[in-house]
């Protein structure tokens, strides 16, 4: 249960290769930056071409088939996470164009925007960061680098993300903090959820499963949430928390560190 395959369905996962050869899931935390850099290099970084006028975009741009368009388009709206966002380009309506709104701050060249994603005004993105297809980065979001966002994810208003992974369909819609953490497929964080990643006293993390206790010597370790987990509003996971698939966390709970089996109800 502590392997990636015990927490996540890796079939047809956009970032499944991140977990190749990984036996214990927290080992991935040391690989996020390198994997994200490689993914950006393969896809083609776009931060440089967006920062021609400085860090903050002065005009809304559309990226379609590798070309940045500053004019000649009409935004037709729609939810990108459902594949419904449409853009009219030269008379043709397309759904695979990325939309980066004026007022977004792109602070680093090592940023990639996949087809169909959207970045709203006021979002701030540092590299290396990879935004997957159909994902939405909302107003006020802060991506501090080493951020890997899968397909159809939501990085919400006033949500901060750092050295973390959101697998396909994961959502942190409102006032969340993700530090040194992994959200599985279709995880939903209730408003105000914080995945704490730093112990007050510098000591190892201990994850016990059965008769075996794993000692993890790293300074920062947030939370790893298996596929389908949900947290209630204003909940907090203590540093070094692992939730098995489909766990439910009640509102305002402080989740104890360690491993919680799948389908646990924490209240």
Average the pLDDT over 121-138 and give the result: 98
SS3 of the chain: CCCHHHHCCCCCCCCHHHHCCCCCHHHHHHCHHHHHHHHHHHHCCCHHHHCCCCCECCCCEEEECCEEECCCEEEEECCHHHCCCEEEECCEEECCCEEECCCCEECCCCEEECCCCEECCCCEECCCEEECCCCEECCCCEECCCEEECCCCEEEECCEEECEEECCCCEEEECCEEECCEECCCCEECCCCEECCECCCCCCEEEEECCEEEEECCCECCEEECCCCEECCCCEECCCEEECCCCEECCCCEECCEEECCCCEEC
SS3 of 211-230: CEEEEECCCECCEEECCCCE
Q: Given this model, what pLDDT does residue 45 score?
A: 82
For residue 231, CA distances in Å to 39, 131, 133, 267 come to: 30, 23, 25, 10
Average the pLDDT over 237-262 and give the result: 98
Q: Please state, rounded to an integer, the average pLDDT across all residues of the chain.
A: 96
Residue 224, Ramachandran bin (φ over 0: left; ψ between -120 and 50: alpha; else beta)? beta
CB-based contact 33:149 (threshold 8 Å): no
Convert the pLDDT of each residue in 187-236 to its tens digit. Answer: 999 999 999 999 999 999 999 999 999 999 999 999 999 999 999 999 99
% of the chain residues with pLDDT over 70:
100
Q: Given this model, what pLDDT does residue 53 score?
A: 67
Convert the pLDDT of each residue in 252-262 to its tens digit. Answer: 999 999 999 99
Convert the pLDDT of each residue in 32-91 to its tens digit. Answer: 999 999 999 999 888 888 887 679 999 999 999 989 999 999 999 999 999 999 999 989
Q: Residue 159 pLDDT more than 90? A: yes
What number of other Cβ atoms are within 10 A of residue 163's Cβ?
21
Q: Given this model, what pLDDT does residue 50 score?
A: 86
In the chain, what are the domains?
Answer: 4-52+103-266 (2.160.10.10)
Average the pLDDT over 135-158 and give the result: 98
% of the chain residues with pLDDT over 90:
94
């Amino acid at each position: 249960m502590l392997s990636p395959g015990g927490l996540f369905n890796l079939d047809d996962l956009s970032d499944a290769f991140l977990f190749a050869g990984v036996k214990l899931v927290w080992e991935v935390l040391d690989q996020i930056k390198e994997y994200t850099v490689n993914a950006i290099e393969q896809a083609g970084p776009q931060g440089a071409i967006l920062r021609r006028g400085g860090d903050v975009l002065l005009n809304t741009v559309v990226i379609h088939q590798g070309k940045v368009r500053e004019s000649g388009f009409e935004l037709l709206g729609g939810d990108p996470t459902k594949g419904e966002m449409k853009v009219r380009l030269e008379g043709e309506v397309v759904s695979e164009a990325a939309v980066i709104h004026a007022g977004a701050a792109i602070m680093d060249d090592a940023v990639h925007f996949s087809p169909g994603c959207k970045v709203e005004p006021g979002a701030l993105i540092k590299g290396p960061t990879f935004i997957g297809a159909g994902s939405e980065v909302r107003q006020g979001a802060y991506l501090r680098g080493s951020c890997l966002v899968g397909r159809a994810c939501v990085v919400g208003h006033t949500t901060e993300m750092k050295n973390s992974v959101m697998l396909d369909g994961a959502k942190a819609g409102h006032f969340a903090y993700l530090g040194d953490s992994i959200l599985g497929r279709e995880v939903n964080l209730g408003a105000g959820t914080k995945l704490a990643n730093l112990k007050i006293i510098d000591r190892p993390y201990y994850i016990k499963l059965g008769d075996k206790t794993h000692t993890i010597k790293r300074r920062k370790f947030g939370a790893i949430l298996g596929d389908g987990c949900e947290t209630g509003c204003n909940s907090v996971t203590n540093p070094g928390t692992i939730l098995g698939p489909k766990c439910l966390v009640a509102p305002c709970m402080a989740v104890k560190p360690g491993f919680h089996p799948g389908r646990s109800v924490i209240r």
